[in-house]
Each structure stands twice: as structure tokens, then as C-alpha cells.
């Protein structure tokens, strides 16, 4: 192979330049999925979000907005800040659940090539599971 042919092949195999951006909404969906996978997390979202979701459940639109409910994220360059609102199961240790949520959310978001600067968590409620006590 001559020198010119080698140069043409090398130039053709160099990827084009450009930028890649990951939207806030994508990070929110990733973070919600990771948080929901943690044992002890009953659901995500504050009182208002849960109220509207129960209304949507009744009219058959229960999946509307669920993928990002209870989460907001902000991506700046290659770094993300994630804010979550959780409902935990009664009897669970808050520090253990929140530590596990932070770890899983960080791991999931970093798998998409971003650095996680913060995972802020607000525990909004406790889900009282199981049957109601009989009197």
C-alpha cells in the first residue's frame, strides 16, 4: 500500500467532531429507575404529585409523567445534580435507604458518562404497609 492510500484511510477513520448533550429529562428517568429499585423505597414524589397520580390512576392515565415523578435534575456540561423526593416504607432506616439510593443513582447516571456532583434527597412520607390492624 502506498503512503497516500494509508493517509486517506486514516483520515476517513477519524470520527467527526461535535458535542454530545444529555438532557435533564434523561437523567431524571435514569435516577427514578435507580431509586425505585432500592428496597424500602415505596414511591417517589411529594404529596401533590401523588395526589395527581391517584387521580390519573382513576381515569386510566396512570403512566402519564411517572417516569420522572419525584425527581428533578440539572445537567451542566459533564456534571449532574439530582434531586429526589421519596416515600419510604415504614420501619426502614432512613440513612440506610438514602445512602443506597445515592449510590445506585450515582452509578446509573455515571454509566451515561456524566459526573454526579450531588444527589439531594427529601423523604416526604412513610408508607404504612400491610393490612390494617383489627380491633
Please indicate, yes or no, if residue 12 is contained in any of the structural domains. Answer: no
Reported confidence tier of residue 20, pLDDT bands at 50, 70, 90 = confident
Number of domains in the chain: 1
Q: Give the domain range for residue 101.
A: 20-127
**In contact, 50 and 65? CB cutoff 8 Å:** no
Of 13 and 128, the structure prediction assigns the larger pLDDT to 128
Please indicate, yes or no, if residue 52 is contained in any of the structural domains. Answer: yes
What is the structure's pLDDT at 103?
Answer: 98
What is the structure's pLDDT at 15?
Answer: 75
CA-to-CA distance for 80 and 68, rounded, in angstroms?
A: 15
pLDDT per residue as tens digits for the range 96-130: 999 999 999 999 999 999 999 999 999 998 988 75
Please indicate, yes or no, if residue 66 is contained in any of the structural domains. Answer: yes
CATH number assigned to the domain comprising residue 34: 3.30.70.1350
Reported confidence tier of residue 7, pLDDT bands at 50, 70, 90 = low
What is the structure's pLDDT at 45?
Answer: 84
Please indicate, yes or no, if residue 78 is contained in any of the structural domains. Answer: yes
Please indicate, yes or no, if residue 60 is contained in any of the structural domains. Answer: yes
- Taking the CA atoms of residue 15, residue 19, residue 20 and residue 24 in that order, the dihedral angle to the nearest 10 degrees is 180
Q: Helix, strand or coil for residue 15?
A: coil
pTM equals 0.72
Residue 134 has pLDDT above 50, yes or no: no
CA-to-CA distance for 120 and 78, rounded, in angstroms?
A: 18
CA angle 70, 37, 102 (to 5 degrees): 65
pLDDT per residue as tens digits for the range 27-76: 999 999 999 999 999 988 865 454 445 544 555 555 545 556 789 999 99
Please indicate, yes or no, if residue 9 is contained in any of the structural domains. Answer: no
Amino acid at each position: 500500500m502506498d503512503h497516500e492510500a494509508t493517509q486517506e484511510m486514516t483520515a476517513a477513520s477519524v470520527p467527526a467532531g461535535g458535542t454530545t448533550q444529555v438532557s435533564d429529562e434523561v437523567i431524571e428517568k435514569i435516577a427514578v429507575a435507580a431509586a425505585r429499585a432500592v428496597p424500602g423505597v415505596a414511591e417517589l414524589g411529594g404529596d401533590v404529585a401523588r395526589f395527581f397520580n391517584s387521580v390519573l390512576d382513576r381515569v386510566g392515565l396512570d403512566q402519564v409523567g411517572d417516569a420522572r415523578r419525584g425527581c428533578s435534575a440539572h445537567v451542566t456540561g459533564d456534571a449532574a445534580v439530582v434531586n429526589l423526593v421519596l416515600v419510604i416504607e415504614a420501619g426502614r432506616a432512613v440513612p440506610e435507604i438514602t445512602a443506597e439510593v445515592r449510590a445506585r443513582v450515582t452509578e446509573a447516571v455515571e454509566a451515561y458518562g456524566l459526573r454526579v456532583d450531588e444527589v439531594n434527597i427529601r423523604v416526604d412520607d412513610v408508607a404504612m404497609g400491610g393490612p390494617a390492624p383489627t380491633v
